[in-house]
Amino acid sequence: MTASHILLENFLQALAAGVLLGALYGLMCTGLGLIFGVMRVINFAQGDLMMLGMYFAWYAFAGFGTLAVLGPYVGPIVAAILAGPALFVFGYLLHRLLIARVTGIRVAGLEGEGHYAQLILTLGIALVLQNGGLLLLGSEVTSIKTPLSASAWEIGPFVGQDVSFFINKARGVAFVVSLLVVFSLYLFVTRTQLGKSLRAAADHPEAAIYMGIDVDRAHRIAFGIGTGITAIAGGLVASYLPFQPYVGLDFVIVMYAGVVLGGLGSIVGAYWGGMTIGLVQQLSTLILPTQLQNTAIFVVFLLIVFLRPQGLYGRSVQRT
Amino acid sequence: MLTLENVQAGYGGLTALGGVSMDVAEGDFVSIVGPNGAGKTTLFKCISGIVTPTAGSITFAGRDMLRVRPCDRPHLGIAHVPEGRQVFPNLSVLENLEMGAITEAGQKQWAQNLDYVLTLFPVLADRREQLAGTLSGGEQQMLAIGRGLASAPRLLMLDEPSMGLAPTVADQIFESIASVRMEQKVTILLVEQRAVEALEYCDRGYVLETGRVVLSGTHDELLMDDRVRKAYLGM
Amino acid sequence: MNVERSRISPFLWVALIATAYLAAILLVNNQYYQLMMTLVPVWATMGLSWNILSGYSGLVSFGHASFFGLGAYTVTLLLINLGLTPWLGIPIAAVVGAAAGFVIGYPTFRLRGHYFALAMLAYPLALLYVFEWLGYQEVSLPMQRENPAAYMQFPDNRVYSALALAIMVLALLASLRIERSRFGMSLLAIKQNEIAAEAAGIDTFRWKLKAIVLSGLIAGAIGGFYAVVLLVVTPASVFGMLTSAQALIVALFGGVGSAWGPVIGSAILIPLAEVLQGELGDKLPGIQGVVYGIAIILVILFAPEGIYWRTRDLVMARHKAAPPPALERRSVTSAQPTVTHHVGGSEAGQIMLEVSGLSKSFGGLQAVRDVSFAVRQAEILGIIGPNGAGKTTLFNLLNGILQPDTGRVRFLDHSLLGMAPNRIARRGIGRTFQVARPFPRLSVLDNVAIGAYVATASDEDAYALARVALEKVGLTGAAHVMAAGISTQQIRLLELARALAGQPKLLLLDETLAGLGAQEVEAILGLIRQLAADGITIVIIEHTMHAMVRLADRFIVLDHGAVLAEGAPDAVTREPSVIEAYLGKRWSARANA
């Protein structure tokens, strides 16, 4: 194979990996996008909530083996999807008991103060989840074993017989599922009355009260959904990535970078933001050593925050 | 229908309302006028529940409002069109109207109300799918009023609908309010800085100054009274 | 509540506590506890470092691990590669930390709120990956066989505890000095209300930068020391999230924004965590983190300011607070309760402020439209107009908070365009705000002194100027009362005093009378007249018309951002266009019909 063919192949492989990973990052970011982008609640624990989703999926399929009956192909996927509702409940309660005390209209007047308390509270929650996880779940690295993660589809060959790239089956399936989940969410917030009232409550809480919307409840639900979506992403990631209780930290900056890149206030933007981050990360492996992949993300994040804090995508209108 | 008795309210040591009493009978059009800082918006916020009065009572259709949560009051039939419009900027015009209609009464009459609103404000029909944040001030005001009407209210409260609007646009808005008065069976409570427009259409009015009612009377009485001018301009 | 200056000097407290701790160190023989005795001052120092930036100024940093880790690696790598003793390495680490503070702070301070916090979080994590990539996964400090003491290696662990204590004492002394100086006051002002601080003449950017540099210096030093104690440095142990979290927690738990807070917090939390780790660490790994997490949650929900402040409040509450002192009758001849019109501002007076063609729009909305006017010395100019007319936007343009799209602003013949608010304040323009936010935990006198910093470099003089200002407004009796306990009228007077303390030539007053009762209004009117009589030029936005018509020499009426009318109060209020703007069209027509 010529050098240029190798280059092309590497590029296509990185691109494919970027898209696949990007879809999952996009899903994670969508969850955070609901919470941070739309409700402007800073949630440091988002990565750890995702971690809980991963463990839930693992226990559902492998640990307690309840879903093993569905077989090794379907089981992990269903487990990942079920992590959604399970973590929805967790997120709902978390908001009701803790987060609501430092958010909402009561605190809106103290602009700076509200955020300060949110940052610190969610940092505390993150620590409890990470270390609680360590305590209860052990520090061994786990993963959900599925035969899909060991095989791949070959795309190609192109350019004569030379260039082709591979799509890992587990990642491919995860990609499709994540698209379906995001699409369902999109339908929910744009077509259903509950979805629209969530958007209204986040858009302008005071006006929402004038409409008769129970804004406190709407915020709890939105927070729960945001948690659930990120948990599903976690469950999907669990099918091919080994994880341990501290895995959340690796993803926190990814998620925030994606949401900010996508433009605060836009759920769709958050998805594309995550997709972009995934692409950047995978494409950066073409020029950077693997260990610096994550540094590349940080650099991108810092660049966005400094140069274009309003993000690249999304059609958010300036808040009055 | 709506009775306020000696309502007092304040923020952090400041008195915004120093004991306001008023009556709005069913089917009335009542205007509340007064200079800036008189407490008009605070009064509305007390009726809506965003602000809790420090003393006094508010009764609507026989029910003590202080026992009703703010987000439940619209479901009883109180529609508040807030100061500064406060549309949902990232929702479309149609979605904004849908949000107005989430009350039970609003749901039942959705089709007719939507029709009425779009006829009353044709420009909203043209911009149905547009994001509300991109509308002009006047269009947003129309949307806010439409939202209020969409809830099929028994009491429609309008807080300074002319604020920030160019005079001709403000005129249009007032004319629409007058049509609503004539065509629908809704009680209207209007707060305005512009005394003439507010008093022109009303049955009865109150003049508020520094948190108290300094003058009240019928449409005829107030329109002729020079004390109204003094309340605004100080001399 | 009265804020008494403690009878025992804080520096004496430091000496007492340090001595007591030193004694405790000498008594401990168990190696495990000796390590704990070292870690307490180490984390207290980190907490103090965090406090200097985030506690006083309110800019929450989750990234102090950056400085800590850089300090640790500086000492380690200098020892390994250059054989440089930590006795020199630690000061160098401090410099590295300070430099990192500058490099990080300079760009990052342009970010607001949560963006700042997220960026600060990203720095240590990025450094973590970089150091791992550079191959420094685990670096050990080599044991020195000859002359270990010269390399800060001692067989007796108690020496380390003493050294840690020494560093902590230095950091503590620095913090205490800062608290009492304009450095600390300025940071507190920034935390409370950055815009008001700028308007009062505080150069917020420079102070923030100084804070982060000092913070980085301390964190770098203690990080270097930490490396010496542990003898092994890994990226995760020094750049990790737990490091930043611990700095934050001890300060938060103990008391944010006070020098003692991190010390108290560290003294309680570190032994607790270490004991938990020791006893239960094997059976329950991660228990330390769980306890820290729960501690943070409980503190932020129930005692967000930390133990130190909570205790102080409880103790103060025991001495039942006297009701806020009544407003003093101002003795001077100025009180003229029967004057109905103010006559002043001679035609020949110097032009202080000249505005021409000022315009500003936001998106599609024209907030200020081609506004021009001039103000003469000792004049009282009233800016009136219906709601939403652009009055506050105009003030924001005059005082540098916003920059105009077109037009000029000249003050005493210097253009003000492009100047930051603090520089405009320095030139002699003072401002009060519609929503007044005094600094609640400071006394009235301290609050006002902050306004005086712009007028003098000496802290003592600042307090002298503050006292004079307090006397002018009649708040002398309340000088030592904590600002949280005064009435609304007194808050307005405090704002006024703070603006006066800066020795302004021109005052911009924004709705000073709103919501006050008739008597209170009279008192403040008298005060404002006196200020004009003293030569200060006043521009005031107000809605309370019956007061304004008696106060102002001239009115400018704004409507929809443009000047509608200008002139003496009785002329302007009779002008048809003005009446229309307020009461609506056709009012005059009807009235005359």
Name the minimum distance, in Å, from the CA of B84 to any CA of chain C: 10
Alpha carbon C346 to its chain centroid, in Å, reads 40
Please report where in the chains the tokens 């991108």 appear, as a residue. Answer: A300
3-class state of residue A161 by DSSP: coil
**How far off is chain C from B230, nearest CA to CA, in Å?**
9
B39 touches B59 (CB < 8 A): no
pLDDT over 70 (residue A16): yes
Q: What is the pLDDT of residues C469-528, one digit of tens each?
A: 999 888 888 888 888 778 878 888 898 999 999 899 999 998 888 767 777 888 889 999
C neighbour chains, 3+ CB pairs within 8 Å: A, B
Out of A197, A199, A206, name the one closest to residue B90 (CB): A199
Residues of C with CB under 8 A from a CB of A: 58, 60, 62, 107, 110-111, 113-115, 117-119, 121-122, 125-126, 129-130, 132-133, 241, 245, 248, 252, 284-290, 292-297, 300-301, 304, 363
Predicted confidence (pLDDT) per residue in A234-250, tens digit: 999 888 788 888 888 87
Structure tokens given for C167:
């560093």
Evaluate if residue C280 carries a pLDDT over 60.
yes
How far is the C-alpha of A251 from the C-alpha of A129, rounded, in Å?
15
Chain A nearest CA to B144, separation (Å) = 10
**SS3 per residue for C239-253:** HCHHHHHHHHHHHHH
- Asked if C122 lies within 8 A of A302 by C-beta distance, the reply is yes
> Which of B80-84, C30-34, C132-136, C144-148 reaches the highest mean pLDDT?
B80-84
Say if the Cβ atoms of A317 and B102 lie within 8 Å.
Answer: no
Check: CB of residue B203 under 8 Å from CB of residue B29.
Answer: yes
On chain C, the residues whose CB falls within 8 A of the CB of A256 are: 118
CB contact under 8 A, B50 and A211: no
Whole-number pLDDT of residue C320: 42
DSSP codes of every residue in B81-132: E-TT----TTSBHHHHHHHHTTSHHHHHTHHHHHHHHHHH-HHHHHTTTSBG
Mark yes or no for CB contact C62/A131 under 8 Å.
Answer: no
What crossing angle do the helices spanning A169-191 and A71-97 adopt, rounded to 10°? 40
| C338 phi/psi in degrees, rounded to 5 | -100, -5
Give the closest of C487, C547, C573 to B233, CB-based: C573
Q: What is the mean pLDDT of chain C?
A: 84
If pLDDT is split at 50, 70 and 90, which confidence band does C584 have?
low
Q: What is the pLDDT of residues A49-58, one digit of tens each?
A: 999 999 998 8
Q: Interface of chain A against chain C, CB under 8 Å?
A: 42, 98, 101-102, 111-112, 115-117, 119-121, 123-135, 139, 245, 249, 252-253, 256, 260, 289, 291-292, 294-295, 298-299, 301-302, 305-306, 309, 318
**Short-list C221, C123, C111, CA closest to C163:** C221
Q: Work out the minimum CA distance from C416 to partner chain B, whole angstroms.
A: 29
> Is pLDDT at A285 greater than 60 in this prediction?
yes
Residue A86 domain boundaries = 3-307
- pLDDT confidence of residue C156: 82
Band (pLDDT 50/70/90 cuts) for residue C353 is very high
Quick one: pLDDT band at residue A317, thresholds 50, 70, 90? very low
Domain membership flag for residue A317: no
Is residue A30 assigned to a domain?
Answer: yes
Confidence tier at C4 by pLDDT (50, 70, 90): very low
A316 in any annotated domain: no
Q: Which residue of C has its CA nearest to B197?
A: C584
Instruction: Tell me if C449 sits within 8 A of C494, measured CB to CB.
Output: no
Dig out the tokens for C429 from the structure.
């323009």
Residue C19 has pLDDT above 60, yes or no: yes
Element (DSSP H or E) covering residue B172: helix B167-183
Would you call the peptide bond into A157 cis, given omega within 30 degrees of 0 as the criterion? yes
* Rounded-to-integer distance, Cα A51 and Cα A54, Å: 5
Strand partners of residue B208: B213
* pLDDT greater than 80 at residue C100: yes
Nearest CA to CA, how far is A68 from chain B (Å)? 43
Residue A160's pLDDT is what? 66
Report the domain count for chain A.
Answer: 1
Q: Do A317 and B99 touch (CB under 8 A)?
A: no
CATH number at residue A193: 1.10.3470
User: What pLDDT does residue B234 have?
Assistant: 64
Above 70 in pLDDT, residue A108? no
Q: Domain for residue A315, yes or no? A: no
Report, as an integer, the average pLDDT of A205-231: 91
Strands (E), chain A: 152-158, 163-168
Chains that touch B (3 or more CB pairs under 8 A): A, C
Residue C298 reports pLDDT greater than 50: yes
Cβ of C553: how many Cβ atoms within 10 Å?
A: 21
For residues C402 and C478, the answer to whether their CB atoms sit within 8 Å is no
Would you say residue A171 has pLDDT above 60?
yes
DSSP state of C320: P
The one-letter amino acid code at B157 reads M
Mean pLDDT of C451-477: 89
Q: Give the SS3 label for residue A12.
A: helix
For helices C86-108 and C204-230, angle between their N-to-C axes, nearest 10 degrees: 140
Residue A192 lies in a domain: yes
Closest chain C residue to B209, measured at CA: C544
What distance in Å separates residue A83's CA from the closest CA in chain C? 24
If you average pLDDT over residues A294-312, what whole number do you get? 78
Q: What is the DSSP string of C4-16?
A: PPPSS-HHHHHHH
Tokens read off for A15 = 């691109």
Sequence-distant (6+) residues with CB within 8 A of A258 are A25, A26, A28, A29, A32, A33, A270, A273, A274, A275, A276, A277
- Residue A287 main-chain phi, psi, to 5 deg: -115, -25
- Over range C458-464, report the average pLDDT: 90
- Regions in chain B scoring below 50 on pLDDT: none
Q: Which pLDDT belongs to residue C592?
A: 56
Query: Do B201 and B178 contact (CB within 8 A), yes or no?
Result: yes
pLDDT of residue A141: 80
Give the CB-side neighbour count of residue C429, counting CA atoms within 13 A.
Answer: 29
Instruction: Quote the radius of gyration of chain B (alpha carbons, Å).
Output: 17
Please check whether residue A77 lies inside any domain of the structure. yes
B 185-224 residues inside an 8 A Cβ radius of C: 192-198, 210, 223
Most C CBs within 10 A among A259, A295, A317, A319, hence the mutation to make, goes to: A295
Residue A320 domain flag? no
Q: How buried is residue C294: exposed, middle or buried, by Cβ count under 10 Å (0-12/13-18/19+)?
A: middle
Q: Which of B68, B209, B72 is nearest to B58 (CA)?
A: B68
With respect to residue A313, please indicate whether it lies within any of the assigned structural domains.
no
Q: pLDDT at position C51, please?
A: 92
DSSP secondary structure, A256-271, as one string: HHHHHHH-TT-HHHHH
**Which residues of B fall within a CB distance of 8 Å from A317?**
89-90, 131, 133-134
Going across the sheet that includes B78-81, the strands are B78-81, B155-159, B187-192, B29-33, B204-209, B212-218
* Alpha-helical segments (H) within C181-306: 182-192, 194-199, 204-230, 235-239, 241-254, 260-280, 287-302
Q: Is the pLDDT confidence value at C105 over 50?
A: yes
Question: Do C175 and C48 form a contact (C-beta atoms < 8 A)?
Answer: yes
pLDDT band at A8 (very low <50, low <70, confident <90, very high): confident
